[in-house]
Every structure is written in structure tokens, then in C-alpha cells.
Structure 1
Amino acid sequence: MRLNKLNKPEPLAKMAFNALRRSILNNELEIGTVYNEKSLAESLGISRTPVREALLELATKKLVRFLPQKGVVLNTFSEKDIDDVFEIRCALELFSIKKIWKNYKTLDMSSLEEHLATQKRAVKKGDRMAFMAADRLFHLGFTELTENEYLFNTMRDIRDVMHLMGYRALSLDQRMEEVVVEHEQIFHALASGDLGQAMEKMENHLETTKQAVLKTMPEIDLP
């Protein structure tokens, strides 16, 4: 008799990490609020040890930071942090465009069109969460098309940080509408094979987004 091996359940620390990461990306945890391991463990229904392991991993990814003798908070960022993140984003996203441009005639970019359509629907509904999710997928779509797993994973982590940085920027008047226009310009330039325009539009888009993020940086007084 031949049986398939059963899949082993994920370690509790990994499950806790995924659950807390989802809560951060869904805005269920608030910037400025101090959370402790005990309350988080109780909410998740597990012991404190895997929660602490999960928080340590989240801290290495710059999503939370520890306050000695108090707990953890969602990370906030300095102007230099924002400059540094956008510097990396610009390098990686321009590289992605340059790489996939070589095959633009045969490239299947339908997923990018779908994410654009989702963003347009989110704008009509005024749904920032749905818009942010589609924005994330649109930008990750370029790195996914490179078929470089390491590049994709790096961009995914950066996009997690960008959620904390960028969500408030979408509250600026007409910013969501502007982002859609900027995304369309990037997409159409790449689809038509105009590498110079695609890279220029992406660089301009990232600079405009950075300025919006800087303009809406939260001022948090932690206890």
C-alpha cells in the first residue's frame, strides 16, 4: 500500500507571523498603539513564545519595533527612512521594467491591466484599502514578470513597509485618481515598447509618491 505523506502543519511562530502581518496590512493594528506579547498571544489563542518569535521577525522586516519594558508598536519612519526605501524601490522597479521590456512583444501583461481596472473601481467607491491592495499587486506585477524570485521577494517585503508609509498619502485630495493616471502612463509606455518613456514615467511616479508620503508623515508621541 502506498500513501501520500501528510503535510505537516506550519510552526506556530510562522502562523503567528502571517496572522500579525495580515493584521498590519489590513490596518487592524494601529500606529501609535503599544501592544504587548501577552495580549497578542491571547488574541491569537497561543502561547507567548511563538508570538515573540513572530514579532522579532516582523521587527527585522521593519514592520514593528520594540519599546523596552513596554511592548511593540507599528514602525514609523523618518524622512531618511522614506528616502532610502524609495531609492531602493526606484532601482528595483526600473531594473524590472528594463528587463521585461526585452520581451514586451510577447509578454502577457493582462494581470497588470486587471490591477489597473481594480484600482479604477476602488477610486469610484472611495475604497482606499482595495486601492492599496491593487496598487501593491500592480507594482509587484513588474517584478513578477522578471521571473526572478529573489527580486520578487525583496520587493514584496518593501511593499509591506510601503503600506505603513503610504496608506495616509492616499488621503490627499485626488491622489488616488492621480495614481491611476500615472500607472496607465507606465503601462501603455511599456506595452508599446517605449522603454525610455516607461522608465521616465515610473521614476516620476515614484518621486511624486514619495513627496505625498513625506507630506502625510504621522506625528506620533509614544508613551
Structure 2
Amino acid sequence: MVREKAKVAKKTVSRSLIAYINPSNKIAEQYRTIRNNIQYASDGKSIRSLIVTSPTEGDGKSTAAVNLAISMAQRGERVLLVDANFRQPMLHKVFSSPISPGLSNVLTHQMEFSDAAQSTEVEGLDLLTSGITHANSADMLDSHTMKQLLLQLSSKYDRIVFDCPAVLSAPDTNALVNKCDGVVLLLRCGKTTHGKALEAKQALSFAGANIIGAILNQKNVR
């Protein structure tokens, strides 16, 4: 049983890092295409800070966020990947990193960003994990401190990619969207219903999000 769980975990991590582990893979190529489409997806304005989210949990948005960030770093950009999902953080598992210190520690003034950020095995890619979970996570993302942190990060990195909670599961993402340049909505084929996709789009738009596009995940081309 332990071995089986280890195999599943290894397979999950490999899929989450496919743009790095196997850059010639077709899926990795698709992430590079999405990366290129994102670059000037908003009337010629460069998308510097990007949120990746989905209508509901379990759609694969963390995998998409990781591989988009890797693809950007592979182009020679300085990229920061941020786990803004305090409720179900995943990125520390993908990169086998400690969950804390992280974003919550920075936003609660426990430490400076420079002390919380971690380098990764991917050249040009840094990671800011979620940190310890807080009950007032939406308030932290909606704070003046978050806004100031974004200004600081924008002067240090070419791209900042946020892995955020599902739109319809928590108010956290909507608290952050109007502070970032763009939002990508991930939809899972066979799982995301038309109604949920539309509901998520409306919620993001109401919060002031610049929705630059959607990614259809798990699509069977046949």
C-alpha cells in the first residue's frame, strides 16, 4: 500500500512538472503555446501578474499554474510562482518544499518576502508557498499589504503567477483579481458544467477581473 501511494505521488509530481521534466512532450508544447498567447492577450499590454483559477476544486489549475510558470522561465524570464490557495495549498508538495514560511507569513508581517521566497530546480523560477493557513485568508489577499507586495514583486520579476482557490469555493480569488493584470480560467472537460463555467466567469467579472482566456483541461482529442 505504501509503495502504491508512493507511485501515485511520483506520477502526480511528474505530471505537475512535465514542462520541466519532459519539455519535448506534446503537453509541454501546448503550455508554451498558451504562454505565448498570454504574453500580449490584453490589447497589447503585457500580462505581468497572472492568476490561474477554476470554477471548482480538482480541475487541475495548480498543474496549469506550475507548467505555465515553468514555460515562462524557460523563455529566459524571471518568474515567481505563488501559492495563494491558503485553504488547499499544493505547490509545496509539487516542489517538495516546506509549506512555511510563505505568503501568509509575509502578509502578516512576520518576515520579509526575501526571507520567505525559495529558489527551485527550474532556472529562473522562484516559489512562494502559502505559509500556514489563516482563517481570514480573503482579507489578507484584499489588504493594502498585498497590494504593496505586488508592487515590490513587479520590480523584481518579469512574471508573477498565482495559483488561487476555485472561484465558486471561496471568496479569496475574487479578493485578489482586481490587483492583477489578468486571469486565466481553467475548465476541465467532462467535469466543468456550462452553468458552473458561466457562474465563475460572472463572479470574476463582477470582482473586476481581466479574464484573458480559458484553458480546456483533460480534453480527449479523439
The answer to which structure, 1 or 2, has the higher relative contact order (CA under 8 A, 6+ apart) is 2
Give the helix-richer structure, 1 or 2.
1
Give the strand-richer structure, 1 or 2.
2
TM-score (norm 1): 0.26
TM-score (norm 2): 0.26
User: Larger radius of gyration, structure 1 or 2?
Assistant: 1
